[in-house]
């Protein structure tokens, strides 16, 4: 069974949840009959993989990203794109992974319509569709009610092996993190799109004056964000481009992860934090309760006072300890090995349905 991986996500983003997902699949598919197609990129996760890649086409990425896969590939192949592209060749099994519906819910304008068109085209033309959570599957059926549900498989994301509970976490705060030793800080991970409610996080920290605010990832702070944080700017620290080991050190030493998102397709930082022994305060919305179980503190309404109330609960040692233990147990449900094994089995199942023969 020939497999074709379209690595275009590495050129579309420097970091992010989809890049993590694609990196982890790539690491595990190396020992199969696989070809990779890729454009130039500066993705921070891609640099950790040693693979031989092929060039699909010399078209500009701005054009190529919206085109069907252009390279002629051998018949009877699995084609899996990292970001909503398909092959229009005959005798090709197209697989699409659907991560979320943030564009449909939260974006407007031409960018939304182009994205939605491309995503819907890929989904409708795919032989097999992977959703990263039951909630994402529910959203898929909501937005595409005529989809054949027998083509859909829910396969959860994993959590990296680098995320572990450290015995003496403070000794790992070195170099650029050295100043955090002995300080209580609250973590915010990821981009700061409107639905991530970064403003709620900032206002929560404004009311919790004894905590430092550590922000990881995303773009540089905008002028608006600088103004938003003017009252706490002396205790806000932003780190970009850090690796998994460094992030694990931050999780291990944090008072908690504050994740006030209104919507997640999965929510990888939640599983990372739980596996690292970092308590999580988040929202009882979309896929988050599905992933978090009873191992996190979740608010029903996204209000500053609600987050303050939950964070203060963690100042009780017994509450904090119980939550950490529950998080460590809950995180065992997710692994990238399991994610890949289920994905590869799905390839085989769809292959057999399409071609009527064993792999």
In this prediction, residues 36-51 reach a mean pLDDT of 93
Q: What does pTM read for this prediction?
A: 0.94
For domain 169-331, give its CATH number from 3.40.50.2000, 3.40.640.10, 2.60.40.10, 3.10.520.10: 3.40.50.2000
pLDDT per residue as tens digits for the range 271-293: 999 999 999 999 999 999 999 99
Q: How many residues are recorded in the chain?
A: 359
pLDDT at 358 over 80: no
* pLDDT band per the 50, 70, 90 thresholds, residue 356: confident
pLDDT digits (tens, 9 = 90+) for 250-268: 999 999 999 999 999 999 9
- Average pLDDT over the chain reads 95
pLDDT of residue 203: 98
Lookup: tokens for 210: 């004894």
List, for residues 150-203, the tens digit of each pLDDT value. 999 999 999 999 999 999 999 999 999 999 999 999 999 999 999 999 999 999
The answer to whether residue 359 scores a pLDDT higher than 70 is: no
Residue boundaries of the structural domains of the chain: 2-158+336-355, 169-331
Average pLDDT (232-249) is 94
Of 83, 89, 45, 34, nearest to 61 by C-alpha is 83
Per DSSP, the three-state class of 141 is helix
2-158+336-355 carries CATH number 3.40.50.300:
no
Contact, 34 vs 5, CB < 8 A? Answer: yes
Whether the domain at 2-158+336-355 and the domain at 169-331 fall into the same CATH topology: yes
Separation between Cα atoms, residue 276 and residue 23, nearest integer Å: 20
């Amino acid at each position: 069974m020939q497999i074709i991986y379209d690595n275009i996500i590495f050129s579309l983003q420097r970091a992010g949840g989809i890049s993590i997902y694609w990196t982890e699949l790539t690491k595990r598919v190396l020992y199969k009959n696989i070809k990779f197609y890729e454009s130039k990129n500066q993705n921070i996760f891609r640099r950790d993989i040693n693979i031989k890649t092929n060039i699909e086409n010399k078209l500009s990425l701005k054009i190529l990203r919206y085109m069907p896969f252009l390279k002629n590939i051998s018949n009877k192949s699995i084609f899996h794109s990292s970001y909503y592209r398909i092959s229009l060749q005959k005798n090709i099994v197209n697989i699409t992974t659907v991560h979320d519906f943030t564009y449909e819910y939260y974006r407007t304008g031409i960018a939304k319509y182009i994205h939605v068109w491309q995503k819907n085209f890929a989904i409708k033309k795919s032989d097999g569709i992977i959703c990263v959570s039951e909630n994402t599957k529910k959203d898929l059926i909501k937005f595409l009610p005529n989809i054949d549900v027998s083509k859909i498989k829910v396969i959860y994301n994993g959590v990296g092996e680098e995320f572990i509970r450290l015995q003496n976490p403070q000794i790992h705060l070195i170099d650029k993190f050295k100043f955090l030793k002995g300080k209580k800080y609250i973590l915010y991970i990821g981009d700061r799109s409107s639905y991530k409610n970064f403003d709620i996080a900032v206002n929560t920290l404004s009311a919790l004056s004894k905590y430092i605010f550590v922000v990881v990832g995303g773009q540089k702070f905008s002028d608006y964000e600088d103004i938003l944080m003017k009252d706490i700017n002396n205790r806000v620290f932003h780190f970009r481009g850090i690796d998994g080991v460094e992030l694990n050190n931050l999780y291990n030493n944090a008072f908690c992860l504050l994740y006030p998102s209104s919507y997640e397709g999965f929510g990888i930082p939640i599983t990372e934090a739980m596996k690292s022994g970092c308590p999580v305060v988040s929202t009882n919305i979309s896929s988050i309760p599905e992933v978090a179980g009873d191992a996190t503190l979740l608010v029903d309404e996204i209000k500053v006072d609600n987050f303050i109330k939950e964070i203060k609960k963690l100042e009780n040692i017994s509450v904090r300890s119980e939550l950490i233990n529950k998080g460590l147990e809950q995180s065992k449900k997710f692994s990238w090995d399991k994610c890949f094994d289920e994905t590869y089995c799905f390839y085989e199942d769809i292959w057999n349905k399409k071609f009527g023969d064993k792999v």
